[in-house]
């Protein structure tokens, strides 16, 4: 995966034209380990690439403005009303402040904001002084000035102080200063490998690092083709990726993988399920709608290799072996991508993922399971014949029907066991030539193979 366009070669290219990307204590600084410089002299890590994949998967079909942005801006508008009342000396401004915290938002936990609102009501002079310090020259430094005026009994933990301060700082511009919450931010740092603040860091320093993280999210989203306008959008995307419930149409594998990734195990998204179009898996122009992981029908082998993160010569060798032998064996430890690569390559070769069928053989798998067999008729007496995967695939081919060759093959299978003829039969039923690039050789004997086995 290529990083962003570089202004030169490596580290030297990143330093040819520098503008400050960090401000602190009245000074501007350059941090080459954060956006926009980090990925000019280095590549995105595997953790960031995985974050980008999940962000693309989860945000697909979600209106982030409606789900994440609009209600936050509405809360900031109510906060502005409280600030205006405070500036005019209105006695009821702490009540308006409480409304901003509590009405239709979950940005700050109630255990944090309730003591703060009570303190603002009982000591409005000191509370207003703290708020003015927060909004004077707003930024991470003003968070520390604010915290110095808030009694420890009101907010005695970093999580409480910083969640309150970051929400209130949104009055100075939520697009620049979005909400911080300890749990979600800690998870975000863990799954991306982003550097965490030192235990001795002040609240302002922690928030400064959080803003740097959001800038990195903006850059990662841009590389994935996602529209992220500002830090508020980045915070909403982060929140959605790490906390939102998966859509109802997600498979169990997708849900389990998401839970695993959020727990910090680095799990990548599984291939999305193949969606069949009406009319036998064809779209309006008559071509197959294949998962984006398998690319389009017109993609060449180089595109497929790039999508699978494999070298093109490796895939080319596999195609040549299929052309020569009509079958291929992938072997290795479990969980190394054998089945995924096999299914992706099969979809590319056939040009239609609906023409690919995965069959798992085991010792008790018989002719009746693989070719055809008798099954009880539901809610009736007697049995009826049911096609197995082989006949299903044979009948699915347009204008074809089981032939004498197929019958000979079936007799061969019946004489032994399906497992001993697995690969050849599967190849005949699924690896149909794609523009002549891969035509399995039909031979009188079939050697046992499989596409996913441990040594």
Determine the pLDDT at residue 400: 53
Q: Distance (Å, rounded) from C-alpha 147 to C-alpha 155? A: 9
Q: Distance (Å, rounded) from C-alpha 170 to C-alpha 135? A: 9
Measured between alpha carbons, how far is residue 239 from residues 59, 106, 180, 185, 392 in Å?
Answer: 11, 12, 10, 9, 44
Phi, psi dihedral angles at 273 (to 5 degrees)? -65, 150
* Contact (Cβ atoms closer than 8 angstroms) between residue 453 and residue 331: yes
Determine the pLDDT at residue 349: 76
Determine the pLDDT at residue 404: 44
Task: Report pLDDT digits (tens) over 351-395.
Answer: 666 677 788 777 888 888 888 888 887 777 888 888 888 887 777
* Contact (Cβ atoms closer than 8 angstroms) between residue 207 and residue 139: no
Task: Report pLDDT digits (tens) over 267-287.
Answer: 888 876 655 444 444 343 333
Tell me whether the omega of the peptide bond preceding residue 68 falls within 30 degrees of 0, making it cis.
no
For 439, the 3-state DSSP assignment is coil
**33-37: long-range contacts, CB 8 A cutoff, minimum separation 24:** 33/195, 34/212, 34/215, 34/216, 35/212, 35/215, 35/216, 35/218, 35/219, 36/215, 36/219
- Asked if residue 316 has pLDDT above 60, the reply is yes
The DSSP secondary structure of 167-236, one letter per residue, reads HHHGGGTTTTS----HHHHHHHHHHHTPPPPPTT--HHHHHHHHHHHHHHHHHHHHHTT----SHHHHHH
Query: Among 283, 219, 205, which Cα is nearest to 40's?
Result: 219
What does the block give as tokens for 308?
Answer: 């699978």
Q: Side-chain half-sphere of 215: how many Cα atoms within 13 Å?
A: 19
In the predicted model, what is the mean pLDDT of residues 260-268? 90
Q: Side-chain half-sphere of 255: how many Cα atoms within 13 Å?
A: 8
The residue ranges of every structural domain in the chain are 64-243, 301-430
Sequence-distant (6+) residues with CB within 8 A of 281 are: 288, 289, 352, 353, 354
Determine the pLDDT at residue 422: 45
- Asked if residue 44 has pLDDT above 90, the reply is no
Residue 453 DSSP class: B
Determine the pLDDT at residue 414: 53
What does the block give as tokens for 100?
Answer: 């901003």
Q: What is the mean pLDDT of the chain?
A: 77
Query: Among 171, 137, 130, 166, which Cα is nearest to 151's?
Result: 130
Task: Report pLDDT digits (tens) over 12-40.
Answer: 554 555 666 666 666 677 778 778 888 88
Classify residue 313 as exposed, middle or buried by CB count within 10 Å of its CB (0-12, 13-18, 19+): exposed
* Contact (Cβ atoms closer than 8 angstroms) between residue 50 and residue 261: yes
Determine the pLDDT at residue 260: 92
For 297, the 3-state DSSP assignment is coil
The DSSP secondary structure of 53-64, one letter per residue, reads HHHHHHHTT--H
Bridge partners, residue 373, by sequence: 386
Determine the pLDDT at residue 142: 95
Phi, psi dihedral angles at 93 (to 5 degrees)? -65, -35
Q: Side-chain half-sphere of 103: how many Cα atoms within 13 Å?
A: 13
Task: Report pLDDT digits (tens) over 182-238.
Answer: 989 999 999 999 988 998 999 999 999 999 999 999 999 988 788 899 999 999 999
pTM of the model: 0.59
Determine the pLDDT at residue 77: 94
- Asked if residue 434 has pLDDT above 50, the reply is no
């Amino acid at each position: 995966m290529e990083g962003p366009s570089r202004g030169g070669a490596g580290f030297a290219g990143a330093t040819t034209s520098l503008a400050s990307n960090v401000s602190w204590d009245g000074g501007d600084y350059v941090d080459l380990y954060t956006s926009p410089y980090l990925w000019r002299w280095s590549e995105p890590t595997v953790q960031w690439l995985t974050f980008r994949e999940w962000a693309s998967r989860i945000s697909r079909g979600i209106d982030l403005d409606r789900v994440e942005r609009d209600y936050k801006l509405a809360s900031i508008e109510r906060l502005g009303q409280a600030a205006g009342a405070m500036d005019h000396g209105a006695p009821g401004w702490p009540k308006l402040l409480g409304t901003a915290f509590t009405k239709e938002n979950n940005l700050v936990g109630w255990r944090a904001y309730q003591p703060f609102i009570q303190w603002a009501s009982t000591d409005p002079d000191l509370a207003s002084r703290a708020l003015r310090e927060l909004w004077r020259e707003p930024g991470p430094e003003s968070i520390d000035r604010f915290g110095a005026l808030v009694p420890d009994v009101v907010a005695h933990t970093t999580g409480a102080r910083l969640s309150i301060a970051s929400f209130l700082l949104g009055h100075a511009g939520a697009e620049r200063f979005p909400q911080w919450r300890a749990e979600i931010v800690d998870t975000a740092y863990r799954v991306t490998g982003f550097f965490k603040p030192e235990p001795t860091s002040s609240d302002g320093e922690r928030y400064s690092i959080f803003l740097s993280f959001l800038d990195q999210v903006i850059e990662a989203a841009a590389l994935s083709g996602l529209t992220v306008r500002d830090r508020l959008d980045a915070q909403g995307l982060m929140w959605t990726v790490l906390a939102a419930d998966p859509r109802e149409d997600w498979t169990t594998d997708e849900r389990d993988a998401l839970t695993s990734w959020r727990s910090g195990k680095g799990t990548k998204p599984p291939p999305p399920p193949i969606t069949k179009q009406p009319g036998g898996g064809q779209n309006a122009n008559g071509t197959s709608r294949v998962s984006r992981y398998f690319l389009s029908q017109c993609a060449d082998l180089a595109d497929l290799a790039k999508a699978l993160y494999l070298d093109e010569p490796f895939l080319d060798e596999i195609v040549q072996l299929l052309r020569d032998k009509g079958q291929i064996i992938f072997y290795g430890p479990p969980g190394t991508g054998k089945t995924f690569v096999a299914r992706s390559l099969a979809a590319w070769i056939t040009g239609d993922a609906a023409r690919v069928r995965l069959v798992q053989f085991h010792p008790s798998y018989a002719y009746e399971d693989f070719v055809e067999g008798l099954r009880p008729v539901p809610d009736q007496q007697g049995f009826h014949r049911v096609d197995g995967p082989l006949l299903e695939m044979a009948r699915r081919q347009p204008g074809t029907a089981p032939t004498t060759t197929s019958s000979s093959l079936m007799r061969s299978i019946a004489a032994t066991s399906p497992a001993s003829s697995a690969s050849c039969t599967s190849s005949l039923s699924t690896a149909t030539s794609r523009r002549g690039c891969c035509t399995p050789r039909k031979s009188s004997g079939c050697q046992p193979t499989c596409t996913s086995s441990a040594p």
